[in-house]
Structure 1
Amino acid sequence: MNILFIHQNFPGQYKHLAPALAAQGHTCAALTLRVKKPAVWRGVKLIPYTIKGKSAQGLHAWLVDFETKMLRAESCYRAAMHLKDQGFTPDIIVAHPGWGESMFLRDVWPTARIGLYYELFYQASESELSFDPEFPRKAPELDRLRLRMKNINNMLHLQVGDLGISPTKFQASTFPEEFQKRISIIHDGIDTGIVTPNAGAQFKVNPNLSLSRRDEVITFVNRNLEPYRGYHVFMRALPQLLQERPKAQVVLVGGDEVSYGAKPPAGQSWKQIYINEVRGRISDADWARVHFAGRIPYDRFLSLLQISKAHVYLTYPFVLSWSLIEAMSAGVPIIASDTAPLKEAISHGQTGRLFPFFDADALVSEVCKVLENPEMAKTLGLAGRNFAKETYDLQNVCLPKQLDWIAKLADMEPGQVTF
């Protein structure tokens, strides 16, 4: 079959699926913004395209987000038409619609089967809008309208996709029922054969400090250090945590930018805002045990997980991070917020420990329980790894399910989904 992938940052979620299909002998290509010149990656032909057009002036604020998606959709449409003119006709199109690129693909290739990656449908409920009281909405009734507009892209894709895939039950549950009827819940997959416990691992913090399993290491990892992932709660727990655990080394991984949610005040970063808030309650000696590693290469990230004695993870009701599953696969005891996305991965007292998202004291208490009880830590770490292997293993669970999903998609009549 001819299979076309659409992802602005390819391979993204198709890191394993696309090469696997190419290895089966399918002709695989990817339209992406990530490369500037045609190339081949693990058997997949990479086809670059660029975004054409400029944003309009004076556009209504609620339409700005959709306009960016429209510009990408039009640009991808033109690139797809060029491929069509060159004689390429995909049997299957696999796309991430989150940035809008796949909006008009049905118009280019009406006979192609289209599978979409449904990541999240924005919720406009009061509980979601007011989840974090620290960031009150100035006009929540208007936010409901704004989020409805933000979902235009999702709604337009309802008539594009034949089948959908979503990585977690929580993420699939955010979509309306007419979407859920076509969504298969299949995680992207974690290579549990690579992400394993390693008693000999070391992590070099700086030229003067190297940490190993002999040290008491507490980890906190996100793409960016920001409130959506509970950075503010973790920082507020830090003074007490350092006092309770005088030998602990705390390593935080993440950038200074914003992946999700509101931006910090102009000229500031969420990272520094919460450092400034708690620094006066932490002695210089204790602060020397706090290490901001920034963004690090994957091999260093794995080494860090392998030396961690307690991994703390928080999130708003939102997309679940790969890093949480990777920490479980590495056998690290997990201390996590009791928000909805976590509850399908973490069972309190079995595969980890849960605490109320905003309760910094409870965070400290749960971390200390794990660090003070090696047998508990060992049991949690082993159970977490076993759950990761049984539920999220790439080679034995997730990739086979993804390939079955592709086979099911190939057997469908295109554009014939009914409700």
Structure 2
Amino acid sequence: MRLLIIHQNFPGQFGHMALAWAARPGWDVRALGRETSPGLPGFQKLYRYKLARLGRKEQHPYLRQMEAATLHGQATARAMLQLRQSGFTPDVILAHPGWGETLYAKDVYPDSKLVHLCEWYYNAEGADLGFDPEFPLTFDDRARIRTWNALHTLNLTNCDVAISPTHWQRSRHPEFFQPKIQVQHEGIDVDSLGPAPQACIRTPSGELLRANDPAKPVITYVARNLEPYRGFHIFMRALEKIQQQHPSCHAVIVGGDGVSYGRKPKDAANWREQMLRDVKLDPLRTHFMGRIPRAEYIKVLQISSAHVYLSYPFVLSWSLLEAMACGTPLIASNTSPVREVLVHGRNARLVKFFDAGALAHEALAQIDSGADQSEHARGARLDVQKYNLRDGLTGYGRAMAMPSSPVDLPSSILEDVTN
């Protein structure tokens, strides 16, 4: 079996799978990533590509993403041509195509099966865009979104098999393409995660915080970047209320000051700065950790008395599943992607996304109930088992082995084409 894995930021979602497949006898597994990709310890066959140039600032705003995708596609195609000239032709190409890397994969390797991880398809209604009334969509936004989908439509057209991590994410793609999309999460390392009654962390200010400490209970919040898409603005408003009502609880907040999704604030360098202007918090009990090593991040989840996960109707975060696996009591937004894995009263407390008062109330109730006694946490640990690495590996393997078949076209479209 010859497999080529493509991800701009390799390994991305494919790390554990790349290592497992590379260890199989008779498998030749190689990868392509951008020159800035971190690589994967223990995986030696990573080839890097570099863009010939960046997109031009004078490009029409609607077309900037497509120009960037074309540049990524060209750079990756050049790297694949070199692989082909060296004698490597993959049986399967597994890729995250979100930046355009596989636009020309079939031109280099027409007989290779192309399997795409399809994370998202933009919609002006019913999902993330326009969800938050604080950030309404303009007509210009809607027009830009429609043009952006050109790349994702090409990706769906070009691939032989598509995979979405959750049913919700699959449902955001055009109904016409959904028969082509399998639902399979990549999996998280459930087996290595769990409660740790002795866990502790030290904050940047020197505060020592421990699991299950009734004198200093801990509320936690985690995101790649602190931004509205993950409800950071709602969390901060709730935290102000929580601190007013609970004089000894601490908040540990993990995440960077960049923007992964959405826009920067207009009048501040980042959303952390913006929200610290808008709310009054006790600086001695509010700990911004920034981005931290994975081992420290897991300890943050393990010391938590109440972990807050908020999300627009958007891609589900691995951090939610990892919090479930750690047995961390959860207070989460009652939004579509979250409801796929959490059930109010069984494995979490769910609140309306925009209701900071309800979020504060549920967080305080969770603290008062005792994190180590939470039935919800036990339910979450049980339910997250279906997102384990073994099932992810098996499901992806099954998708790669599927026979290649195009989407069935409606007979009316076929008639139009033949006429």
Distance 1:334 1:40, change over 3 A: closer
**Which residue pairs with 1:399 in the alignment?**
393
**For 2:399 and 2:52, how far apart are their aligned partners in 1?**
33
AA in 1 matched with 2:397: L
Q: Deviations over 1:305-328 (max 9, x none)?
A: 111110001011111111111001
**For 1:239 and 1:302, how far apart are their aligned partners in 2?**
25
Q: Post-superposition shift, 1:373?
A: 1.7
Q: Post-superposition shift, 1:136?
A: 2.2
AA in 2 matched with 1:94: L
Contact 1:225 1:231 in 2 (8 A): yes
Q: Post-superposition shift, 1:127?
A: 6.6
Q: Post-superposition shift, 1:178?
A: 2.8
Distance 1:294 1:154, change over 3 A: same
Aligned residue among 271, 284, 287 for 1:288? 284
AA in 1 matched with 2:340: E
Contact 1:370 1:377 in 2 (8 A): no
Q: Deviations over 1:345-400 (max 9, x none)?
A: 110011101111110000011111211223895201110111111x21223x3222
AA in 2 matched with 1:245: H
Q: Post-superposition shift, 1:267?
A: 5.6
Q: Post-superposition shift, 1:172?
A: 0.8
Q: Post-superposition shift, 1:304?
A: 0.9
Distance 1:239 1:321, change over 3 A: same
More divergent stretch after superposition (78-87 vs 92-101): 78-87
Normalising by structure 2, report the TM-score.
0.92
**For 1:320 and 1:350, how far apart are their aligned partners in 2?**
19
**Which residue pairs with 1:204 in the alignment?**
202
**Which residue pairs with 1:122 in the alignment?**
122
Distance 1:384 1:36, change over 3 A: closer
AA in 1 matched with 2:251: V
**For 2:267 and 2:363, how far apart are their aligned partners in 1?**
34
Q: Post-superposition shift, 1:78?
A: 1.3
AA in 2 matched with 1:113: K
Aligned residue among 343, 364, 369 for 1:368? 364
More divergent stretch after superposition (207-216 vs 239-248): 207-216
Task: Indicate the SS of the match to 1:252.
Answer: strand
AA in 1 matched with 2:261: Y
AA in 2 matched with 1:234: F
Count how many residue pairs are aligned between Structure 1 and Structure 2: 405
**Which residue pairs with 2:58 in the alignment?**
58
Moved over 6 A (4+): none
Task: Percent identity, please.
Answer: 41
Q: Post-superposition shift, 1:16?
A: 1.1
Task: Indicate the SS of the match to 1:222.
Answer: strand
AA in 1 matched with 2:264: K
AA in 2 matched with 1:222: A
**Which residue pairs with 1:14 in the alignment?**
14
**Which residue pairs with 1:49 in the alignment?**
49
**Which residue pairs with 2:5 in the alignment?**
5
**For 1:319 and 1:239, how far apart are their aligned partners in 2?**
27
**For 2:308 and 2:51, how far apart are their aligned partners in 1?**
39
Contact 1:309 1:333 in 2 (8 A): yes
AA in 1 matched with 2:241: Q
Contact 1:19 1:44 in 2 (8 A): no
Distance 1:187 1:201, change over 3 A: same
**For 1:402 and 1:44, how far apart are their aligned partners in 2?**
22
**For 2:171 and 2:341, how far apart are their aligned partners in 1?**
15
Aligned residue among 135, 141, 144 for 1:143? 141
Contact 1:94 1:114 in 2 (8 A): yes
Contact 2:161 2:400 in 1 (8 A): no
Q: Is 1:278 matched with 2:273?
A: no
**For 1:275 and 1:54, how far apart are their aligned partners in 2?**
35
Distance 1:108 1:134, change over 3 A: same
Contact 2:328 2:371 in 1 (8 A): no
Distance 1:172 1:307, change over 3 A: same
AA in 1 matched with 2:398: D
Q: Post-superposition shift, 1:270?
A: 0.8
More divergent stretch after superposition (51-60 vs 310-319): 51-60
Q: Is 1:335 matched with 2:331?
A: yes
Contact 2:11 2:40 in 1 (8 A): no
Distance 1:272 1:349, change over 3 A: same
Aligned-pair Cα RMSD in Å: 2.0
Query: After the TM superposition, which residues 125-274 of structure 1 pair with which residues of structure 2 at under 5 Å, given as runs?
Result: 125=125, 128-137=128-137, 139=138, 141-206=139-204, 208-213=206-211, 214=213, 215-265=216-266, 268-274=269-275
